[in-house]
Each structure stands twice: as structure tokens, then as C-alpha cells.
Structure 1
């Protein structure tokens, strides 16, 4: 199946471009125009990310002004994927999660041309907000972003008591009344006797979907994905929370700096720093459910046979554009080696996880 790479044309007035570039840490947007599929959109644009703002190739947040929404979105993110030599790890991860039935943002590679100058390949990411839910026919419910590692479902972090229960979370959708439900969840996790977990916690969390998310995070090996790099959505009809993955470029065997992350770096049970993950897997009933979910995924979806065509389709579609990318064309040899790097990671990681399944008993 072909994978088209469209071009987005970004235009900024000189004074607005100067203002944008004057302070990379300023979150205030500047006005601009963007042409997408021959449609002219008035937008606001700002840099996004944390340490990535210091990279030569920066990421952007785009807010649509006129029209207020475009293709069902009021906001999109353009990620530079600068440290990922393959440029596909984020998309590969989100598509993998979607196959597992886990709520995940849509993604699409694009070419960005800014004021007539090619800025290279970017990954357009869907914003996780109310429109994200609407597109999927889901009931409106609060959404929180885990903005730092305080979002560990615990009362403390690194042995120090947190200032408040919602430390580490930023509410994107919802109101203050929704905060009470999240506080209650965190209290329940930390005060419910382990023997009562099977009856109590499923009243707050969709357990099966949680373990599919955990299996996805463990397979792709996002080291930061257990206390960070996720969003939390509470379905207003069921009253249950679900986890949505976010920022999965440091996966499939690569660290955040692009270096190698050994296939056994993240254990089969995830990271103990997530209190929820740690406690759920101490319950035999839940551990057995996770084991069965992971066993199925390792046999069917997390295999080279299953993922090879997906990886190669992305690689082949991107390569002509990487050759023109001013930030990537000099490292095309490394890009060419990434498919086999990912395949070898899948083989090694799959074998490691299968051998580790016995540790869940």
C-alpha cells in the first residue's frame, strides 16, 4: 500500500518570524498562514517540546484560526523527529497501539516548506482533545496530559511526598469537578488493600484496555511511557479511565538521544516507578490477564512477519524525501540501516519477553 507524503506550505511575515525565533522557550504563538491540499488556513504557530527546542530542526504546534477547524482538528502538532534516525518510530508505535485496540493519536508524515524553504520531513500528530473523542464516536470526558514524572499514580516521587495528588497532570478537557474523580482514583490506588484490588480498581479503570496499553508500551519499549508520555481519558458513560500513548519516538531500540537501547532494558512488568502498574501486577488475577494478552501479541502482532510490510512501506515512501531533507540527507546511510535495526530489535525483544513470561507466574 502506497503512503503519500503531502507538502504543507507555511508562510510567516518577517516580523512574526523574527518574534518566533527570538525566544525558543516562549510558548506564545505568532500568526501565520498554511496551505494544505490547496486550502489556505489562517493559523497560530509556536514551538513545542522541551529539550527538543534546542535542536536545529524544531517542532511546532499549529492552531487553526480560520477555519477554526480543519479536517476535524483545531490543533495539530508537527514533530521534527530529529533524533530518530528512522523518522518512523512514533508513527510505527501509534499504529501498533491502534492495532491492539488502544486509543492512540493519528499520524501522517509531511514535507514542511517554510517561506519557500524546504524544512524536511515532519510527523503530523493529532491532538488528543474533545475532537479526538468525537472522531472515534466516544462520549465526551475529561482528558489529562501526563506532563512530567509526577504522573506516577503515587503519593510520592523518588521518596518525596508530592505537593498535591494531581501533580504531574494538566487537564486539557473537562472542568474542576473532574479533578475530584482523578484524586479519588489516585487515593484508591494508594490506600486500597491489595486483596481488595480485584473488586475495587475495575470500578475506576478499564483493566483490559490498561493491559493492552501496558503490553504495547512494554513491546515498543518506551522507557518514559509509564510515568510520562501518556494522556488519561475518563469515559463519561462507563466512568472508567483509559490510557492514551504519546511521544513514542524513543522506542524500537533507540534512546531519546538516538543511541541504542538494549532489548532487555525495560522489564516485562514495565517500570516499578508507576505505582498502578506495580500494584496491578501483584494481583494474580490481573497478572494472568496481562500474561494472556502479551502472549497473544508476541505470537501475532509483535513479530517481524507482521510488521515488516509496515516498516518497509514507511521506509520506501520516506526515502526520496529524506534525500532532500536538509537535516537528514547527510545521514541517509544510517536511515537505510534502520529497517533491519528495527527488525532485529523485534526479534530480540520478542525472544526476551517470551522467556520472561515465566516471571509473571
Structure 2
């Protein structure tokens, strides 16, 4: 097993008054000032809790915005995820890396060891923020980024939350970066997805969407079984040079055979056709359906296999195990953590068999 030098050491220092303010109301998004030390480098930051239901967990997740200097490692903000409900703590990173292998834009994710005011807080997953810095680090064209913040980001004219026609086509999205004009292009795409006749859809959708990238993202959702991934847990990037939207995955801990509660999820729980309106219209077109089927078949043979994935799982397991064994929120469940590589591999085997069986029934 690797030694403890394999994880970066992050040290947070928060004045007791500010720490009290932070803990007073976990639902308050207003940040408090703090200091982050990484490799002896001092960074003045703003610190807040992050997430929705995860704020109730004993082990909190954090949103860090750099204040002085304004950026660190070419980023203006990062997320520190506790991965509290995932007994492996690996699923989020495993998923985001898998998306990248499929050719989808995907945030970087790396494990760190966190201390707060000298107290060890355990293993955290540092997640890259999807914003203009995310684009610049990849030498991508300037563009807009919209976060899907709730289930109304369903590519439909009907609200999943209100069960009624949407009052705005931007419902479900929060713009991270971009122009007012980009708001119009998002609304225009959603409107066209829902109103263009079938005879015109194939020619129209490629004016708004990078369809190949979308199908790769869809494959990633289906292989990892992120049930919420079709209407949530993603960001949209509109490339200002091409004018096309791409989908970027986000928050993928409830995957690889476990749900948002950390409970086992059946390998056939998430259907391969997906759930949202855009996916339904794309797969209704023989051209896109064939391309999607070929992508699934190729991935089943190359990437979504025990031979390909198990070494990645074991590498992550060995990297973080010494830290999980001391994590104050996880050390009592170390036996469960030790069994998780087998749980993930069992899921891959069962999910692969399910997808293969489903594809045999597709007549294309």
C-alpha cells in the first residue's frame, strides 16, 4: 500500500467566531473568511458549506473561493466533497474519470487530506469548478456555462417540480458565466427540442447541440447508473465559436451500484434509453440511435469491463485507505470500505450483462 505522502495536505484555519457563524446556520450560503495552507503556501479564502441535502451530514462539504491571491492553480474556486454517503468514497472520481475516457468534458477530481484548525477531518475529494477557468485550462473557446440546479433542467416545456407548463425556459438552470445572449440560445434550444416536427428534428438539433458529445455523455450516465443524471447533476457549455451546447457531468457519487443513500441499487434500475425529453427525441431518430448503440457496444468491449476498471478501482482504494482508516467519520466503517472494490466490480459485471441484453432487443 502507498504511504501517506500520496495525498496532498490541506490545512484550513478559521477564527472561532467565524467557525461559530458558519455552524450557526448550515443553510446560509454567505461565506466566512478563512485561510487555506497547501504546501506551506498561504491562501486567503472565502469558505461556505456546499450542497443541498448533504449539509445535514456529520461530515460537511465545502465551497472555497480564493480571495488573495484571486486564483490558485488557475482556478478561482474549488469544491471539497466529503463523499459521506458513498462507503467507497471513490464513485464520484471514478465516474468523472470514466466520462473523460468516453470523450466528454469532465471536471478534474483528486483526493486530499483535510485538517481544520489542526483537527484531522479525513479524506476529501477536491472537485474542479466548471466555469471560465475550466474552459481556459482546456484551451476551449470562450462560452457560457449553465448549471442544472434542479429537476426542471429536463429539456422540456413542462416543469418536473410544478407538473405544469414552465413559466420560463431557463427554469432549472443557473448561469455561471456567459452573456445575456446565451440565455436566449438556451431558451431557443429547449423550445426547438420540444416543437420541431420529427421530419425536421435531425437537421435542426445539430444547429444547437454537439450530438456526438451528448451521446457520449448519455452513455456515461447509463453505464454509471446516475438516476438523477438525466435532469440534474450536469452543466451545459455553449461554445461561442461553434454555437453548440455540450453537457458536462457533475456530482456522481450515487453510481456504480449504490444510490444517494449509499444503499445497493439493482443493476437494471436505470434504463439505457434515459429519461429526459432531449434524449427521447434523439433516440427516436435512427441515425442517432444507431450511433448510440455502437458507442454502447464499443464501450462494453473496451472500457466498461472488469479488466479495464478493476485496476483503476484498486489504485484509488490503495491510495486513500490509510486515510480512511483514520478518518473520524469513516474509520468505524473500514470493513465496509474494504469490501467496496468487490461491490463495484460486481456492479460492472451485472450492469454489463443487462446493457448487452437490452441492446440485443434494439432493431436498428
TM-score, with length taken from structure 1: 0.98
User: 2:173 aligned with 1:166, yes or no?
Assistant: no
Match of 2:265 in 1: 261
Q: How does 1:145-160 map to 2 (within 5 A)?
A: 145-158=147-160, 159-160=163-164
* 1:270 CA displacement: 1.2
Take 1:4 and 1:289, find their aligned partners in 2: how far apart are those partners? 40
* 1:175 CA displacement: 2.0
Question: 1:185 is paired with a residue of what secondary structure?
Answer: helix
CA contact (8 A) 1:86 1:338 kept: yes
CA contact (8 A) 1:8 1:35 kept: yes
Take 1:135 and 1:56, find their aligned partners in 2: how far apart are those partners? 34
* 1:257 CA displacement: 0.4
Deviations along 1:206-252, one digit per CA (max 9) or x if unpaired, are 11111010001000000000000000001111111000000000000
Question: 1:113 is paired with a residue of what secondary structure?
Answer: strand
Take 1:247 and 1:59, find their aligned partners in 2: how far apart are those partners? 12
Q: How does 1:1-361 map to 2 (within 5 A)?
A: 4-158=6-160, 159-271=163-275, 274-361=276-363
The number of residues matched between the two structures is 359
Could you list the structure 1 runs, at least 4 aligned residues long, displaced by more than 3 angstroms after superposition: none
In the alignment, structure 2 segments of 5+ residues that lack a partner are none
* 1:157 CA displacement: 2.8
Take 1:341 and 1:163, find their aligned partners in 2: how far apart are those partners? 43
Question: 1:120 is paired with a residue of what secondary structure?
Answer: strand
Take 1:359 and 1:122, find their aligned partners in 2: how far apart are those partners? 42
TM-score, with length taken from structure 2: 0.97
* 1:195 CA displacement: 1.8
* 1:359 CA displacement: 3.5
In the alignment, structure 1 segments of 5+ residues that lack a partner are none
Deviations along 1:92-148, one digit per CA (max 9) or x if unpaired, are 000001111100000110111000000110100000000000000000100000000
Take 2:295 and 2:94, find their aligned partners in 1: how far apart are those partners? 20
Take 1:119 and 1:303, find their aligned partners in 2: how far apart are those partners? 34
Deviations along 1:329-350, one digit per CA (max 9) or x if unpaired, are 0000000000000000000001
Take 2:175 and 2:362, find their aligned partners in 1: how far apart are those partners? 34
Deviations along 1:36-87, one digit per CA (max 9) or x if unpaired, are 1211100000000001101000100000011100011110000000000000
Take 1:343 and 1:46, find their aligned partners in 2: how far apart are those partners? 35
